[in-house]
Structure 1
Amino acid sequence: MKRRKFIGTSAAASVGLVACKTTNAMAPASAESTELKGNINHSVCRWCYKGIPMEDFLKSLNQLGIKAMDLTGPEDWPLMKKYGIHASMCWGAGFGIEKGWNDPSLHAELIADYSQHIPKVAEAGYTNLICFSGNRNGMDDAEGLKNCAEGLKKIMPIAEKHGVVLQMELLNSKVNHPDYMCDTSAWGVELCKAIGSENFKLLYDIYHMQIMEGDIIRNIQDYHQYFGHYHTGGNPGRNEINDTQELFYPAIMKAILATGFKGYVAQEFIPTWDDKIAALKEGVTICDV
C-alpha cells in the first residue's frame, strides 16, 4: 500500500499493508536484542509494518533498541508510552498529501484543524507534526509557495507557543506522488525562508529526493538548517536500504551527523523479507554509524 493512500484515510482506520513476500535466505534472526552506538536517534514509520499488531511491533522496537516511531496519532500514543516509544513525527491534522496548504480555499479548515491538534501534540510531550503542500492542480509553484506561506504563518504563533515544529515533507512527484508541489529541496527551503520561524522545518525524505534531484549529501550540507527530520528508503523500489539499491546510507548518515543534527532518522522502506523485523534490524544497523 502506498503511503499516499494510507495517509488519506482516518488515522484511526484499520489499514492492512500489502507487502511483498520475497524470501531473503540471508536475513538475520530478528529475536536478538540490538546494542546501538547512540549517535543516531533511530525511528521507524509505522505504516511500513501495519500488518504487525501494534503491541507486538512495540515489543520488537524495544528489542532492537529503536526509541521512536513516526506517523502516529493520539489513538496510538497511550500504548507507545507503555513501551517507552516516543512519537517522533505525529500526524492526524489536515487532509493528507494531495490537499494541502497551497490551496487557499482549505486554509480556514486547515488552520482550525492544526490549531486543535498542535496543543494535543504538546500535551502528549511530543514536538513534530507533519504537514503537506498539496498537489499543484495547475497552480504555478511561486503562487503555491505564497499560498503555503500565508496559511502557515497564521498557525506559527500557536506552534511557537506550544513548542511544536510543523514539518512539511519533501516527496517525489515523478514516481509516487504525481503533481505534488513540495518536490524539491530548493522550493521547500524558499518556503522556510518565507515563513521565517524555527517552528517550521522540512522533513527531508532521502528516498524521495534521490528520485527528484539526487546530490543527497551536498543538499544535506547546504540546507541542513532547514531540515528537521529524515526518512530513509532504498531506491529504486523503496525497499531495503542494503546493497540491492543505489544509495550508500552509511555515508549519508555520517553527513547528517556532521551537521550537528540531534533529531530523528526514521526508516521508511517497505520490507520485502518474510521476516520484516529482521529487515528493519538490518536497516537500523546500516544507519547506526
Structure 2
Amino acid sequence: MTSATPAPTTASAATAATPPPESSPLVVIGAGTMGAGIAYVAATAGYPVFVVEPDDARRAGAAENLRATFDKAVARGRVGSPEADEAYARLSFLPALTEVPDGPHLIVEAVPERLDLKRAVLAEAAAKNPRVLASNTSSIPIGSLAEGLPRPADFLGLHFFNPVYAMPLLEIVTGAATSAETHRLALDFAHTLGKDPISVADHPGFATSRLGVALGLEAIRMLEDGVASAADIDKAMVLGYRHPMGPLELTDVVGLDVRLDIARTLQAAYGERYAPPKLLEDLVAAGKLGKKTGAGFHRWTPDGRRAI
C-alpha cells in the first residue's frame, strides 16, 4: 500500500460514473485500511460489496469506521446524506469467504503484503469463480502470486492508493498470463470508480512503489545520518519539489510496517539499494507504525492529524 498525490476525485466523482448492475457484486478480502477504502469507493459507485474479515474485532471496527467515513463525506459536502446511507447499505460484512455467493464479478484481495498469506487467500478466492480476481499488492510480482491459480488469465493486480476515496490513481498490473479481456474489465472497473488508471508490466514494485520506496528509504537514511530533522527533510521535498507531503510523513501515512514489507520484497528483487534502514526496522519493532499508532517519524493526534 502506497500513496500518491491527493486530488479531488473523491466519492462524488465515483457517483458520476454509470452505476454497475446490482447483479455484479464485488468481494473485498481484508478489512484493514486498504480493504475498507476499496469497499467504500465501490459501494459509493453502486456496487454491492461483501467485505470478508475473519477477525471479529477488525470486522466490527471496519463497519464502524466506514460508517464514520460516510458521515464525514456528508459533513464535507462530498455526497448527500441519502446517497451515503444507500451506499453504506450496499456493504455486507462477513467472517468467511464461504458465506459469499459463487460467481462474483470481482474479488480483490487486500491482506498484508506477505507472499504465503496472499497465495493462500487467492487460492480460496479462486474457488468462488470470480470473473476477475485481483490483488491489491503494492510490490509482489503478479506472476509469483498467480502460481497455482486455476485461471491465471483472469488474475491481475489492482494497486489502490491511500486514502482510497481521495486518490485518483489506480495501478493495473498485468501478469504474463493475464488476458486482454481481463485487463479491459479492470480498466472499465477503474473508470466506474472514477479512478485514473495506469497499466504497468509485472516487475517487483511495479512503477509506483519502486519509485516511492526508493525516495522514502533515502529520507530515512538521511534522518539516521543526522542530515536534518524529519520535519525539515519533509519540508525540503514539499517546498523544493512541490510534493504534497514529504517522504517521511508519507511513510507515516502508509504505515511503517507496510513500507518495511515492501522494502524487503524489493531488496530480494533488486539488491541492497532497497535494504531497509535500521531506524525503520527499530521503529516497527517498537510498534511505532505511523499515523495508525499515533507515532512514527512524526506524532499524530487521535483524529488523524499530524501534531506540530
TM-score by length of 2: 0.30
Greater share of helix residues, 1 or 2? 2
Question: TM-score scaled to structure 1, two decimals?
Answer: 0.31
Q: Which has the larger radius of gyration?
A: 2
Q: Relative contact order (C-alpha < 8 Å, sep 6+): which is higher?
A: 1
